[in-house]
Amino acid sequence: MNGLPVLPAVELLSMLRRGQISPLELADEYIQQIERLNPQLNALVDFDPERVRAQARALKNSGTPLFGLPMTIKASIATAGYRCETGSLLHRGHIPHENAVAVDRLQRAGAVILGTTNCPEFLMAYETDNRLYGRTSNPWDLDRTAGGSSGGESAAVAAGLSAAGLGSDSGGSVREPAHFTGICSLKPTPGRIPGRGHLSGSDGPFAILGATGPMARTVRDVTLLFITLSGQDALDPVSPPVPLRNESLEDLKRVPIGFFEDDGLIPVTPETRQAVRDAVHTLEQQGFRVSPFRPHALEEVRQVWWKFFVRCGAMLLEPLVQGRQSQLSPTFLDFLSIAHREPPLTAPELLSGWMECDHVRRKLLAEMEDFPILLCPVCAIPAFRHGERTWEVEGKQVEYLDAMRYTQWFNLLGAPAAVVPVGRSPEGLPIGVQIAGRPFEDERVLGIAAAVEASFGYQPPPLSVG
């Protein structure tokens, strides 16, 4: 069974259905991998092997789509009976009594919950570190971060501590970690996978920005999870009654794809440029229509994202942390210091920002009429060392949040975006590319992501099979 924990989820499910392995035997494989590697990675924060075994023994219906699949859940998504503390001492010991809708659907589909995974405090960082559990390390290099805010989830999936999992994304939080650790992920159109039960509120502007998304080792795995979890939640105001769609490979090849290597403002590493070029090349070889194209509205979109995520986000959280600064983690204090460089939003600014949001979304959607799919970097850099906040890229100093801007546009647009591993940095770190589409065209994004993956895709980090 050596190497079994890093197999694609779809292969594991096939083995389970054919009786080649039992849910309990598979659970034990993952328990051993967690016990071996989690002390180094610090990915799971609530893990009880006997609870896992009890779930596996209790499974009866082998016809469910995720029968016996061991999965993990980001600790900001309500999972009944598990610690879900959003990485904060202020929420120490919080154990929900009810599942988030997406978690409930996973369990009804037959998944075995291994535990919850680490995240930065209140999810406001691209690095997973907090005062409650400490930092999560990257399985490709323990001196580097696995990303954030779904960094615990990405480290677990990449290193074979979990077959797949659920993260959440308001500014790149399932995509950046996937890029940093060499796995696949999807930030879906908000509501297509219901967000009800996410513990760091997905209301107001965050109903547009945020989405619960699957993370796994292959696009096929991510697609299976999307199909299993999607469907309207009648109690979620942004969850649409959109049926699953199916486009053939020939249909997808007729969709114009625009690509760009950088946004014209923030440079990317040479290897990141090469990853985009390599993805373009493989699509062209398969008969896809790919052309250079960079939307003009990107920076306007990013400025509105900043207004809501950074400035409005800080205003929403400050009443909760008032007078408790001594308990806050450095990563969250860093976020507050960035937010406080600008004054709090006034009522007129917030109102104008809300109006501007729809205006710039319309502008970007108009540009995407010619290119409904965009292929671009995930980030300006590969995984960075713990605590780093600036980098020199192509002779220019790149600041922390600027390096991460390549995901943020699609949060404001409320659009689906997937990540596929393609390249490597000089240090051997994974580099992904991002495939983004128009709202509600998630299946199209996944189909084209699968075409990119056909020439590249997940490779297990040496740590995971050693």
Q: How deeply is 256 buried, as exposed, middle or buried, from its count of CB atoms within 10 A (0-12, 13-18, 19+)?
A: middle
Candidate list 76, 137, 149, 168, residue with the active-site label: 149
Q: Give me the amino acid identity at 385.
A: R
Tokens 């393609």 identify what position? 422
Q: How many CB atoms lie within 10 A of CB 288?
A: 21
Alpha-carbon distance values, 40 to 7, 146, 212 (Å)? 21, 12, 27
Q: How far apart are CA 176 and CA 168, in angstroms?
A: 11
CB neighbour class for 178 (10 Å; exposed up to 12, middle 13-18, buried from 19):
buried
CB count within 10 Å of CB 186 equals: 31
Calculated CA dihedral for residues 262, 265, 266, 267, nearest 10 degrees: 50
Question: Rounded to an integer, what distance in angstroms lies between the CA atom of residue 343 and that of residue 60?
Answer: 57
Cα atoms found within 13 Å of the Cα of residue 151, Cβ hemisphere only: 34
User: What is the C-alpha separation between 108 and 405, in angstroms, rounded?
Assistant: 36
Could you tell me the strand order of the sheet in which 417-424 lies? 44-47, 112-117, 70-74, 164-169, 211-216, 184-187, 417-424, 430-436, 373-377, 257-259, 290-292
d(CA 347, CA 428): 48
Catalytic residue of the set 173, 200, 230, 329: 173
Q: Tell the residue number behind the tokens 């007729």, with chain if given.
A: 254
| Exposure class string for 2-35: b at 16+ Cβ within 10 A, else e | eebbbbbbbebbebbeeeebebbebbbbbbebbe
Distances (CA, A) of 327 to 109, 273, 321: 39, 41, 9
Alpha-carbon gap, residue 209 to 123, rounded angstroms: 13
State yes or no: is 74 an active-site residue: yes
Spatial distance between the Cα atoms of 379 and 400, rounded to a whole number of angstroms: 11
Query: Known catalytic residue: 149?
Result: yes
Catalytic residues: 74, 149, 173
